[in-house]
């Protein structure tokens, strides 16, 4: 995503639904879920509910942190340096995705916040996860004021890290778009070319 609350979870659900409809076994992995207390449904559980929790859909979180913050900050806030040290490292996330890939036809990894938000204490991001796995990026953006800059910066960062091919999805598009939303949609289409 270019930011938080841009529609990453809805897009993840849509991608999973397409793969499930094609008869594939699908796993969704969220390396870090923040802003959700123990016992509450997180993003992957919401996706499962939306899709009817079919047996061919696996749902998993790497780590859950209650504070609605960037993952490393949420870990530090919850329990100081010791809690941050307990965060999974890049290799943990890669191993889990590779294990899921052995059991499923499709594995979708949903990030937290923007593509450069640190998931690990070492500063590894969702782009690092995707790069290490040889995965394709699907970047989700929003239609509102400020999106052109956020999206251009996100695409530039992805390109600088070797992602020349990917998908840009406009999430959270309103049912009754304003002139700004329509203009931004046209500008985002041009940016994606």
Tell me the CB-side half-sphere exposure of residue 35, using CA atoms within 13 A.
9
How far apart, in Å, are the Cα atoms of 162 and each of 155, 158, 159? Answer: 11, 7, 5
Collapsed DSSP state (helix, strand, coil) of residue 98? helix
Collapsed DSSP state (helix, strand, coil) of residue 124? coil
How far apart, in Å, are the Cα atoms of 18 and each of 6, 93, 106, 168? Answer: 20, 24, 11, 17
Q: Which of 8, 30, 76, 181 is catalytic?
A: 30
The C-alpha atoms of residue 130 and residue 180 are separated, in whole angstroms, by: 32
CA angle at residue 16 from 178 to 96, to 5 degrees? Answer: 120
30 catalytic residue (yes or no): yes
Active-site residue numbers?
A: 30
């Amino acid at each position: 995503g270019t930011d938080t609350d841009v529609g990453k979870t809805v897009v993840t659900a849509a991608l999973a639904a397409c793969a499930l409809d094609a008869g594939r076994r699908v796993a969704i992995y969220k390396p870090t879920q923040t802003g959700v207390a123990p016992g509450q449904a997180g993003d992957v559980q919401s996706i499962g509910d939306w899709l009817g929790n079919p047996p061919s859909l696996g749902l998993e979180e790497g780590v859950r942190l209650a504070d609605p913050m960037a993952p490393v900050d949420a870990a530090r806030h919850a329990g100081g340096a010791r809690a941050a040290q307990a965060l999974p490292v890049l290799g943990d996330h890669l191993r889990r995705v590779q294990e899921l890939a052995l059991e499923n036809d499709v594995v979708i990894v949903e990030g937290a916040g923007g593509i450069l938000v640190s998931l690990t204490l070492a500063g590894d991001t969702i782009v690092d996860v995707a790069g290490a796995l040889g995965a394709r990026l699907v970047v989700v953006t929003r239609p509102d004021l400020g999106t052109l800059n956020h999206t251009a910066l996100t695409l530039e960062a992805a390109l600088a890290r070797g992602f020349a091919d990917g998908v840009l999805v406009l999430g959270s598009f309103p049912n009754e778009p304003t002139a700004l939303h329509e203009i931004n949609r046209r500008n985002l289409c041009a940016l994606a070319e």
